[in-house]
Chains A and B, each alone.
Chain A
Amino acid sequence: AQTVTQSQPEMSVQEAETVTLSCTYDTSESDYYLFWYKQPPSRQMILVIRQEAYKQQNATENRFSVNFQKAAKSFSLKISDSQLGDAAMYFCASSTGANSKLTFGKGITLSVRP
């Protein structure tokens, strides 16, 4: 079974600054994928970034990057140059190579101060 833990329920960041959202996971599988999803007030989940466990290089998508520490089972999201539109709930999630089911963490509410 997979578990995903997000221990910080809320975070706040000043516009233009950098913030890191934490996530830890547990899985017995060797083939798995990790994701960060954003859920704005519109409720639609949007994929921010994904990481394949077999890739050592950390994934990057524009202002979003991850710090994937496989041995520590840690998968944090860094948002650089934070913008007001980044304010949302962020969910860390995992799935295995054999099972497309997504296992989500509880989420973190990110607010951005102008």
Chain B
Amino acid sequence: KAGVTQTPRYLIKTRGQQVTLSCSPISGHRSVSWYQQTPGQGLQFLFEYFSETQRNKGNFPGRFSGRQFSNSRSEMNVSTLELGDSALYLCASRYRGQNTEAFFGQGTRLTVV
């Protein structure tokens, strides 16, 4: 069974640009969550999608958005990039709900210059 796949693995963008990150969950998993990891703030929850609906949202500005497609693949978009958005973005998939194990991808390393 293939694991959680995140693309691209590395990305360099210029301040003010926008970026889209992709996450393909494990086959059959319907829940996809996104986390931002930085040395200063640690791991912070961005949002969760379940069956194409945003089920939960963290405390991030509106520049951070996401969506989920009918095949459960999810994309995360960050508009008007700031230097502080440089981080490792991790995606996690779950089969269904809260009580099931979250499987993480290897992340996308975003650098904003």
The reply to whether chain A is a binding partner of chain B is yes
Chain A interfacial positions (CB closer than 8 Å to B): 33, 37, 42-47, 50, 91, 93, 95-107
* Separation of A104 and B98 alpha carbons in the complex (Å): 15
- The reply on B25 being an interface residue by CB < 8 A is no
Beta-carbon contact of B106 and A107 below 8 Å: no
Q: Return the contact of B58 from the options A44, A46, A98, A101 (Cβ within 8 A).
A: A101
Chain B contacts with A in 18-72, Cβ cutoff 8 A: 31, 33, 35, 42-43, 45, 48, 55-56, 58
Tally of A-B residue pairs with Cβ under 8 A?
A: 58
- How extensive is the interface on chain B, given as a class? 20 to 34
Beta-carbon contact of A103 and B104 below 8 Å: no
Residues of chain B within 8 A (CB-CB) of A93 are 43
Closest chain-B Cβ to A37's Cβ sits at a distance in Å of 8
Beta-carbon contact of A44 and B98 below 8 Å: no
**13 A-B residue pairings within 8 Å (CB atoms):** A42-B106, A43-B106, A45-B90, A45-B104, A46-B104, A47-B102, A50-B101, A91-B43, A100-B48, A100-B94, A100-B97, A101-B48, A106-B42
Q: Return the contact of B45 from the options A46, A98, A101, A106 (Cβ within 8 A).
A: A101
Q: Is the interface of A mostly helix, strand, loop or mixed?
A: strand
* Separation of A33 and B101 alpha carbons in the complex (Å): 11
Most buried by B among A43, A96, A104, A105: A43
Beta-carbon contact of A101 and B43 below 8 Å: no
Beta-carbon contact of B98 and A99 below 8 Å: yes
Most buried by B among A45, A47, A96: A45
Most buried by A among B45, B58, B97: B45
Beta-carbon contact of A102 and B98 below 8 Å: no
